[in-house]
């Protein structure tokens, strides 16, 4: 395994198609994090968690209880492979690479074009944290500490004259 550092790039996902394959705990956590940035999320899996079904019934995501197929990735910007089937995850990775789609395979760091960061939000501030896939506990701890600091910040200023 190569030790890679990924450049932190903040992207507007509001009009980008995000496909999440898998309906378990990992998929649920990632979908909930993504909802702060887009509502254009499709979850595809034969079994979908109750939390994801609630999000689907409330119109926050599109949830499809069925196996995934290649055509599900048409026009996708990001794909998250969050299944417990490594062969399926690998197949998803290969399709995305062929199609030029950014992909993250939750079970294999080597099959990721991007890491899914720990996220801190406060008003218009967004902080993403990654330990390059090496130390999730450390990233989780740092996220918690940064979130505490952010909660103590004064309210956001909407005066654009402060910016250069």
Instruction: Report d(CA 142, CA 32) in Å as an integer.
Output: 20
The position carrying tokens 């979850």 is 43
User: Tell me, what CATH number does 44's domain have?
Assistant: 3.40.50.720
Shared domain check, 94 and 70 = yes
The position carrying tokens 């654009």 is 160
What are the pLDDT digits (tens) for 82-139?
999 999 999 999 999 999 999 999 988 888 888 888 888 888 888 888 877 677 788 8
User: Global pTM?
Assistant: 0.85
What are the pLDDT digits (tens) for 124-162?
888 888 877 677 788 888 888 888 888 888 877 766 555
Shared domain check, 101 and 143 = no
Q: CB-based burial of residue 3 (10 Å sphere; 0-12 exposed, 13-18 middle, 19+ buried)?
A: exposed
Shared domain check, 132 and 102 = no
Q: What percent of the chain has pLDDT over 70?
A: 93
Tell me which residue of 34, 26, 90, 86 sits closest to 42, measured CA to CA: 34
Question: According to the model, what pLDDT value does residue 70 have?
Answer: 96
């Amino acid at each position: 395994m190569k030790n890679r550092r990924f450049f932190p790039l903040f992207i507007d996902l509001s009009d980008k198609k995000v496909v999440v394959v898998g309906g378990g705990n990992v998929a649920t956590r990632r979908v909930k994090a993504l909802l702060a940035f887009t509502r254009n999320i499709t979850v595809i899996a034969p079994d979908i968690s109750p939390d994801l079904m609630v999000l689907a019934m409330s119109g926050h995501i599109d949830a499809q209880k069925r196996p995934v197929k290649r055509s599900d990735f048409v026009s996708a910007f990001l794909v998250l492979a969050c299944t417990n089937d490594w062969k399926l995850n690998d197949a998803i990775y290969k399709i995305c690479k062929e199609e030029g789609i950014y992909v993250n395979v939750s079970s294999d760091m080597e099959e990721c074009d991007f890491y899914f960061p720990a996220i801190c939000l406060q008003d218009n501030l967004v902080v993403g944290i990654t330990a390059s896939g090496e130390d999730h506990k450390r990233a989780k701890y740092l996220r918690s500490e940064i979130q505490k600091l952010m909660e103590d910040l004064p309210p956001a200023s909407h005066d654009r004259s402060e910016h250069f």
